[in-house]
Amino acid sequence: ASADVMGSSIHFRARDMGRPVPFTAPEWAVKYDDPDFFYKQGRWPGSFQHGFWWIELSVPWHTIYDNETLRHELTRHVLGIWDWIKNKDPELKIAAANYALDWIGQVPGKRESRRIIGEYFMTEHDPLRKTIFPDEVAFGGWFVDLHEAGGLLAGYSEKSLAEGEKGSYAARSYVGPYGIPLRILIAKGKNNLMMAGRNVSVTHAALGTVRVQGTTAAMGQAAGTAAAYAVKRGIPVPDIPMRMEAIREVQQILLREDCFLLNTVNEDPLDLARRAEARASSEALLGGAETPAEGRDEADRLTRRRGQWMAVGSERIEEIAVCLTNESEAEEAVDVRLYAVDHIWDYRVEPGEPLAAARLMVPPGRKQWAAWPLSLDAAALRGKYVRLDLLANPKLIWHRAQRVEPGHVSAYDMLNGQMRRFEKGETMCFRISPAQACYGAGQVLTGTARPYRYTNLWRSDPKRPLPQYIELVWPEAVPIGRVELRLPGQLLRDYRSYPEFYVDPECPRDLLAEAFLGDERREIGRVSGNYRRRVAFAPAEPVTADRLRITVAATNGDPSAAIYEIRVYERNGRDGG
């Protein structure tokens, strides 16, 4: 096997038995006695219930031809690691006292194997430079994550963990979201062979980012959509990225199926909503995120520069305030900056010259609001984001908000010129004056169905009781055969941050769709008990209307009604035609 091939791995599952369960490792299990192997080499064994990604092996074995040998070797290591957890680590053996091994996987998962050369060969420079591809059909965002060859036999699990965030590898390997072209999914010179997953046309280094499951799933949907399109149109798959009309149609199909593409918006000519004007019963204003979360002081301490995104929706920004604790006995200073940024993943520490800068003085005390008078002309920033940065002062705590404000993320300085999402995706406590009109009805028609360059979300005024509604109004009557909604649902954090069967409180639960023609009103659909992001209404026959109203009668807990996107088609069916 090549010396730079990432290895194969197996997982295990442990179960709490409710009573102490002893464990004796078999003689043939690998012996682990050195805590440095775990704690200094990037193999933290803390959350032991579901196994570890770093249980991995490759060289000196061949990940294809030596698969059975790798299975046996990995099993030996799993049992040895479990022996360390149960019997040797002074803290873990207490935490794991009632746990027993419930399952050990016996099919090694391959991080890297054979790959097929495609119509385009992606290198790591494409994600790092965020190459814009005309045939973009998916996106990725994982860093260039190259596990050390040899896995458990190597001196550390991966270079980034060995060096830490200050290391050169972390700086070189970090990427934000980037586009993936259809051509890496199409085998070069073939008209009937496509790939989707870890066999796509990329270099070893590029595979370090495209190989993760969320990205491979997106590529799988893109490959299936392109194949279906080719069959329907009667053209070879390799022709799709070469024909502008064809690739645009594929991209529009993917967007309608709720894929996210970085450089493409809804331009579906069949979507009647694009010809309408939106208005609502009420609209939320962004006054800030004011309620501090409890019990996270050390995590919220300003040991590093931290940034908070804010959507601009007014002509001016008069004042911004932040909720800080100064635990010292003297007044402390914190430098603040305000930047214009391109989108919520604009993680450049210095995205340009600051719009404003100042130094705030913070007296001793807990949870006090430090105000920054700005009097900033924000007319040119409406419909965009700004980012408020507080520079490091470890004597100060910038409290996070109790809830995530939709589209308002925060990040911290990685100390290499780049920032990274703060913890699980938090909103820091802030106030902005005047309150910003960034959740207007028109946000459902931006062509992007999630936060990106702006909030792209209509929210009703949380101070006004439900039901609340949003309407699309046309200058002349249109036939409505299908209405499609994109609703809030687990978009603000990594899916692994949510518990099982989680229901987003912001997701509308009970909805009603009504069509109007003059004073005539007609119900075209309703749903109760909803928790899904995608909802569609289709009358038995198309309804002629000059106004469509979507009423949110109840949510799953949030006081505001909220919708990301509304689409309207003349006929029912996925082609909308």
Which token pair is 302? 């300003």
Q: How many CB atoms lie within 10 A of CB 153?
A: 16
- pLDDT at position 3 is 57
User: Positive or negative CA dihedral for 556, 561, 567, 571?
Assistant: positive
Which residue has 């207007």 as its token pair? Answer: 440
User: What pLDDT score does 573 carry?
Assistant: 74
Q: Could you list the pLDDT tens digit for every one of the 577 residues in the chain?
A: 455 788 999 999 999 999 999 999 999 999 999 999 999 888 988 788 888 999 999 999 998 999 999 999 999 999 999 999 999 999 999 999 999 999 999 999 988 888 899 999 999 999 999 999 999 999 999 888 888 888 999 888 877 666 665 666 666 777 889 999 999 999 999 988 999 999 999 999 999 999 999 999 999 999 999 999 999 999 999 999 999 999 999 999 999 999 999 999 999 999 999 999 999 999 999 999 999 888 888 999 999 999 999 999 999 999 999 999 999 999 999 999 999 999 999 999 999 999 999 999 999 999 999 999 999 999 999 999 999 999 999 999 999 999 999 999 999 998 888 899 999 889 999 999 999 999 999 999 999 999 999 999 999 999 999 999 999 999 999 999 999 999 998 877 777 778 888 999 999 999 999 999 999 999 999 999 999 999 999 999 999 999 999 999 999 999 999 999 999 999 887 654 4
Q: Is the previous residue joined to 434 through a cis bond, with omega within 30 degrees of 0?
A: yes
pLDDT at 576: 47
CA distance 43 to 48: 12
Encoded tokens for 419: 């920032």
Are 109 and 51 within 8 A, CB to CB?
no
> What whole-number distance in Å separates Cα of residue 511 and Cα of residue 503?
16
| Among 105, 59, 60, 98, residue whose Cα is nearest residue 78 | 105
pLDDT for 577: 44
Q: How many CA atoms lie within 13 A of 363 on its CB side?
A: 3
Q: Which helix (H) or strand (E) holds 297?
A: helix 297-300
- The helix-helix angle for 244-256 and 213-233 (nearest 10°) equals 130
Write down the pLDDT at residue 504.
94
> pTM of the prediction?
0.92
Q: Which residue from 209, 218, 90, 122 is spatially nearest to 158, judged by alpha carbons? A: 209
**CA 411/CA 405 separation, integer angstroms:** 14
- 3-class DSSP assignment, residue 68: helix
Distance CA 486, CA 256 (A): 10
Q: Could you tell me where the DSSP H helices lie in 84-212?
A: 92-95, 125-129, 159-163, 168-173, 204-210
The pLDDT assigned to 522 comes to: 96
Tell me if 226 sits within 8 A of 250, measured CB to CB.
yes
Which DSSP state fits 400? B
Rg of the chain over all Cα atoms, to the nearest angstrom: 26
Cα separation of 569 and 572, whole Å? 7
Which pLDDT belongs to residue 146? 86
pLDDT at 470: 98
The CA angle 441-446-450, to the nearest 5 degrees, is: 90
